[in-house]
Amino acid sequence: MFDFSVPSDTQLLVDTVRRFVTQEVQPLENETEALGDVPPEALKRVRGKAQELGLFAMNMPEDCGGGGLDNITMCLVEEEFGKTSDALIRRVFGQVYPMLLPCNAAQREKYLLPTVRGDKICAMAITEPGAGSDAASISTTARLEGDRWVLNGGKHFISDGDIADYVIVMALTDKEKRARGGITLFLVDKGTPGFTVNRVQPMMGHRGYGHAELSFDECSIPFDSVLGEVGGGFKLIMNSVAGIRLAHIGARAVGMASRVLEMMRTYASERKQFGQPIGDFQMVQQMIADSATEIFATRMMVLNTAWELDQGREPRDKVSMVKLYASEMIGRVADRGIQVFGGMGFCKDLPLERIYRDSRVTRLYDGTSEIHRMLIAKAVIKNGLVL
Ligand SMILES: Cc1cc2nc3c(=O)[nH]c(=O)nc-3n(C[C@H](O)[C@H](O)[C@H](O)COP(=O)(O)OP(=O)(O)OC[C@H]3O[C@@H](n4cnc5c(N)ncnc54)[C@H](O)[C@@H]3O)c2cc1C
């Protein structure tokens, strides 16, 4: 018999994360938005609190100090993280990429373990001005000179690139092979000669969180800076993105949209026009009903796909469907939220306009909507709809 109930220990964890988000993180939203930075003292305090509660790197295996959560539990936790600004969550926890798992023994000590503890910040540099959706068309190169690799090229839009202690850099090691064995990942430390953070690129949203332009100019790094295998970089990225897309885009979109819906619900009962609550008007009801239905649908998609991942399957097409639907769902819900609030929705006194701006990027990164539509269509045309 199917059992969709949440186990009590999972619920306890979700409740702890919910309290952490509402009591510790949400109160920093306005100041972060106004400053364009997380107030440093508050960030230190909140990071300390998160470490105390054991909320760091919950996605990573226990043997490297992580929380060892399965994908379903991780998605339930990420829903709660979605109820505050992505900028704050990213600044508090950093980004603990599962691509780090193939670290060798020395890399494990230097990069993986400190990142899992929250002592080092990591960034992932794939995208270049000339290579976005077509990541295999990168032009950053790595050539072997004696016992060192020499990197040349440029990356942009790199999240946390401004503050990262080290960057995972995707570079070409064989121009002919490219995605088929010619792309390698390298671990590059901040401060390495030839590695420059050129500038933080101003964005529509994500205030308080930097996306940077990086350059590598005859940047010489040790031979053992390779993450995984030489030529194995593209495959490593592709094999690691499913959990990230589900948790960071899918589950967070559910959390974000649930917060907007809750605001719509309260306002629709309290705000009166023409002598009655606006929630009595059918056109307002429609916005609430459509939002609730789409949030429910997204949540089911996220959890079902997370369950498949936990069974050791590779539900790539479903991950694409979740990423596509969740990112477009939050856009619609955020837009309706503003509509239900009228002028107040446009006003910076409320988080709605920030959510509207911040959520827009989810249709762009981790594969644009068009790329995921293309992948879904190809899979369906080839295999039919596999549910
Ligand atoms: C805020 C932010 C943070 C980011 N963080 C990171 C990061 O940390 N690390 C990193 O490496 N990258 C990062 N990125 C980059 C992100 O992954 C890319 O922006 C994304 O892959 C799209 O690439 P592009 O911007 O070059 O757009 P393009 O690939 O140039 O696409 C432009 C348009 O063409 C469409 N298009 C392209 N190819 C096709 C096709 N085959 N069929 C149909 N339509 C197509 C796209 O869907 C889009 O509408 C970030 C981007 C942003 C905005």
Mean per-residue pLDDT for 262-277?
98
Buried b (16+ CB within 10 A) or exposed e, 156-171: bbbbbbbebbbbbbbb
pLDDT at 382 over 90: yes
Confidence of residue 2 (pLDDT cuts 50, 70, 90): confident
Residues 6+ apart with CB under 8 A from 97: 122, 124, 168, 240, 244
Nearest CA to ligand 1 atom 17: 365
Of 202, 227, 252, the residue at which a domain comes to its end is 227
pLDDT at 236: 96
Q: Is 219 helix (H, G, I), strand (E, B) or coil?
A: strand
Q: Whose CA is nearest to atom 2 of ligand 1?
A: 157
User: Quick one: 59 and 174 in the same domain?
Assistant: no
The number of distinct structural domains making up the chain is 3
Compute, in angstroms, the gap from residue 203 CA to the centroid of ligand 1. 14
Indicate if 331 and 349 belong to the same structural domain: yes
Residues spanned by the domain of 283: 235-383
* 317 HSE (CA, 13 A, CB side): 13
Residue that the structure tokens 């988080």 belong to: 351
Residues 36-55 have a mean pLDDT of 94
Q: Is the pLDDT of residue 381 over 80?
A: yes
- Indicate whether 2 belongs to any domain: no
Q: Both 244 and 345 in a single domain? A: yes
Asked whether residue 250 is domain-assigned, the answer is yes
For residue 63, the CA-to-ligand 1 centroid distance in Å is 34
Average pLDDT for residues 294-301, to the nearest whole number?
Answer: 98
pLDDT bucket at 1, cuts 50 / 70 / 90: confident
pLDDT-derived band of residue 367, with 50, 70 and 90 as boundaries?
Answer: very high
User: For a pocket test of ligand 1, which of 160, 327, 364, 372 has the largest count of ligand atoms closer than 8 A to its C-beta?
Assistant: 364
- Residues 178-208 have pLDDT tens digits of 999 999 999 999 999 999 999 999 999 999 9
In a domain, 308, yes or no: yes
What is the average per-residue pLDDT within 224-250?
96
Output the average pLDDT for the chain: 97
Report pLDDT for 218: 98
Report yes or no on 351 lying in a domain: yes
Return the structure tokens found at 332.
């619609």
Token pair of 21, please?
A: 């988000």
User: Residue 133 C-alpha to ligand 1 middle, in angstroms?
Assistant: 5
Q: Are 103 and 111 in contact (CB under 8 A)?
A: yes
pTM: 0.97
DSSP 238-297: HHHHHHHIIIIIIIHHHHHHHHHHHHHHHHHHH-EETTEEGGGSHHHHHHHHHHHHHHHH
Confidence of residue 145 (pLDDT cuts 50, 70, 90): very high
Q: Whose CA is nearest to atom 12 of ligand 1?
A: 127
Q: Among 207, 227, 247, give the residue marking a domain's end.
A: 227
8-state DSSP, 40 = H
Q: Are residues 214 and 79 in the same domain?
A: no
**Is 262 found in the same domain as 316?**
yes
- How far is CA 54 from each of CA 13, 20, 46, 360, rounded to the nearest angstrom? 10, 11, 12, 31
Continuous H helices in 118-232: none
Distance CA 165, CA 222 (A): 17
Beta partners for residue 47, in sequence order: none
At 284 the pLDDT is 98
User: Cα–Cα–Cα angle for 215, 35, 156, nearest 5°?
Assistant: 20
The size of the chain, in residues, is 387
pLDDT for position 5: 94
Contact 369, 328 (CB under 8 A): yes
Give distance in angstroms: CA of 373 to centre of ligand 1.
14
Task: Give residue 307's pLDDT.
Answer: 96
Residue 75 in any domain: the answer is: yes
Coil, helix or strand for 140? Answer: coil
| CATH number of the domain within which 62 lies | 1.10.540.10
Give pLDDT tens digits for 122-142: 999 999 999 999 999 999 999
Report which of 302, 309, 303 is spatially closest to residue 324, judged by C-alpha positions: 302
Q: Is the predicted pLDDT of residue 228 greater than 80, yes or no? A: yes
Average pLDDT of the residues in 147-154: 98
Percentage, residues of the chain above pLDDT 70: 100
Pair (161, 280) in one structural domain: no
Mean pLDDT to the nearest integer, 277-293: 98
